Amino acid sequence: MIEEYAPKVAVAFDQYNGWNFNVAPDDAGAYIGFGALRERDFPAHSNWYRLDWLEAVGIEPNGELVNTADRLYYTTEPFTLDQFKDIMIAFAQNDPDGNGEQDTFGISTLLIDSVLGAFGTIGKFGDDYNHYENGELKMWYATDGFRSYVQYMTDLYDAGAIDPDAITGQSTLTGHQKWAAGMFGAQDAGIVYADPANKSFMGRAPMNVLESIPTAKLMLTPFTVGSNRKSQYRGSVARGSYFTNAYFTFVGAHVQDDKLARILWMIDDINLDPELSVYAYFGEPGRHFDWAGEPFNSAISAIPGKEYDDPYKEGVAGFDAVWGLLDRERLGWKPTYKGFNEYLEANQRDQMAIFGRFDIFNATDISDVLAKYLPEQHVIAQTYMVEAITGKVNIDETWDSYLADLRAAGYDDIIVAYEKTTDVRAHMMGEGG
């Protein structure tokens, strides 16, 4: 019925593994929904730097520097880990803001994705990836990559390049306020924020510093690369719906076929017919929104001068105006970062994914196991990370006992439970698993 009454959905299923993903567990030939497991085939985040600070400390970007808007740039080549360390130390020690005081930091976090990725692992507390390392399934905080990361961060800490509030986890200022005040000079953030026309983005980091400091310049780069010239991007695998509407559409199991045909037809058109889907999501062009460029081939923008009660909810600001439709080639990217995104798509695709195991079909007890053990795992890993980075413990001497502490707190049970879930890469490649 999907092929007959929802042909555009059928094409999407062909493209995104849907025929494999949505199979009803106990009913051959039946489908339970419109979900997808999609490899996100483009990086959504980049390194953001204060370019005026790089200029002040005399560090040249790699690759070609491209100006996309007033005081907004991207460069086509990432920095290496060695360069990143030099930048962080210079930002802390060489007075990049020129006020004569040593009062700035490189970063304001202990966990910076782009550096963790350069060491070959991804994850954070609350977003706990697992992946294979040398054939062994591990939680991210137990990998050799994490160990190397923590070792690297000790040098940044020694040089005063890390905001000490990141160590204590406490501050009177938010990260957004610190960035706006020019207290640190590099962070990871979404490429999507690089949009001066978007007021909600201008009100938060990283863009807010362009308004608070008139001489500030920002530069995006691809994620820092490790010794093998590779990085990894967190958020590589997305599980969800193909379509915003279908995500909220539930159809009774016993609905008659003639009604189901009409439901499928509506889902097909509202989501995948270009004109109808634009109308359903954003309203009428010229009345509710403007095209940023050519109709159906550019991003959604607010109408200049029009008062919106809430531009975000009305779909002309924020993520929805960018990510709203399946076909992001057609509607996706604001002109300010289109070039950067195209560069990343062409050059960084193979650096996207570390696939581990995931309970795609909600068919194992992994969520119970995680609920039982993860809070204590977080305490152990977070404490170790802080103590190692600040030099309270020697990593070479304590790494094995750290792993033993994790094991004593349920680590092996987590791995055993994950081993029963689906191997994501094998599944996406149609190999079962």
Which residues contact Ca ion (rule: CB under 5 A)?
Answer: 95, 97, 99, 101, 103
Contact, 377 vs 137, CB < 8 A? no
Contact, 186 vs 106, CB < 8 A? yes
- Give, in order, the Cα–Cα distances in Å from 112 to each of 108, 115, 178, 224, 339: 9, 6, 16, 10, 25
Closer residue to Ca ion (CB): 103 or 329: 103
What is the distance of C-alpha 232 from the center of its chain? 11
Closer residue to Ca ion (CB): 95 or 165: 95
Closer residue to Ca ion (CB): 183 or 303: 183
The CB-nearest residue to Ca ion is 95
Closer residue to Ca ion (CB): 15 or 99: 99
Extract long-range pairs of 282-288: CB within 8 Å, 24+ residues apart: 282/315, 282/316, 282/321, 282/324, 283/314, 283/315, 288/314, 288/315, 288/316
CA separation for the pair 98, 334 (Å, rounded): 34
Closer residue to Ca ion (CB): 186 or 321: 186
The CB-of-54 to Ca ion minimum distance in angstroms stands at 15
What is the distance of C-alpha 192 from the center of its chain? 11
The CB-of-182 to Ca ion minimum distance in angstroms stands at 9
The CB-of-185 to Ca ion minimum distance in angstroms stands at 11
Closer residue to Ca ion (CB): 53 or 411: 53
The CB-of-91 to Ca ion minimum distance in angstroms stands at 10
Which of 268, 265, 254, 306 lies closest to 284 in space, CA to CA? 306
Which of 40, 202, 184 lies closest to 112 in space, CA to CA? 184
Closer residue to Ca ion (CB): 99 or 215: 99
The CB-of-410 to Ca ion minimum distance in angstroms stands at 46
Which of 221, 236, 279, 231 lies closest to 81 in space, CA to CA? 231
Closer residue to Ca ion (CB): 101 or 400: 101
Contact, 207 vs 176, CB < 8 A? no
Helical spans, DSSP H, in 66-137? 81-93, 113-118
Contact, 222 vs 348, CB < 8 A? yes
At residue 165, what are phi and psi to the nearest 5 degrees?
-60, -25
CA separation for the pair 309, 313 (Å, rounded): 8
CA separation for the pair 167, 144 (Å, rounded): 22
Which of 427, 430, 416 lies closest to 364 in space, CA to CA? 416
Closer residue to Ca ion (CB): 96 or 123: 96
Closer residue to Ca ion (CB): 103 or 155: 103
Contact, 328 vs 338, CB < 8 A? no
Closer residue to Ca ion (CB): 98 or 375: 98
The CB-of-99 to Ca ion minimum distance in angstroms stands at 4
Which of 93, 220, 106 lies closest to 153 in space, CA to CA? 106
- 3-class SS of residue 231: coil
